[in-house]
Structure 1
Amino acid sequence: MAMKKPSKDAPAGSVADAREAVAELRSALRKAGVTLPSLGLDPVSCAYETPRPLVELGRCTVETARRLTAALPGEE
């Protein structure tokens, strides 16, 4: 899967760019059969005068952790 470049309207590291990255990750995980219920943006990192958004992966069940591991390259 090719990584998307930041859009021209949103500078790299912007909240809009981070939201787009979260949506792309959610979609890719869904295709691999993995759901991270807490996946989203960390609100504290977006609250700075100049936002430095972080993606919050959150917690998951043991089953989900194993599915995620199996979906990664090199794992069988």
Structure 2
Amino acid sequence: MKTEHEREQLINAINLLLHQAYDSTLEEIYALLKKIEDEEDENDLRAYHAAKSDIDNNSLIAWDDMKKEIANERKKDVA
């Protein structure tokens, strides 16, 4: 996991490259990022449905806790 400073440097470097990119490249990058986000959402839903179908987990894990855990995992994956 990257530190906040390392993360900020990476974002700044990406922004610099984005500002220099052609419009067609920006559209491709956007499409790729959207695809990644959609896949992550689909994986989150699969995990949710798997947990929901397991009666033991369903009775022990609150939805708010699940959302927090998913958000924390996403932050780890991004960094």
TM-score, normalised by the number of residues in structure 2 = 0.31
Instruction: Give 1 or 2 for the bigger CA radius of gyration.
Output: 2
| TM-score (normalizing by structure 1) | 0.32
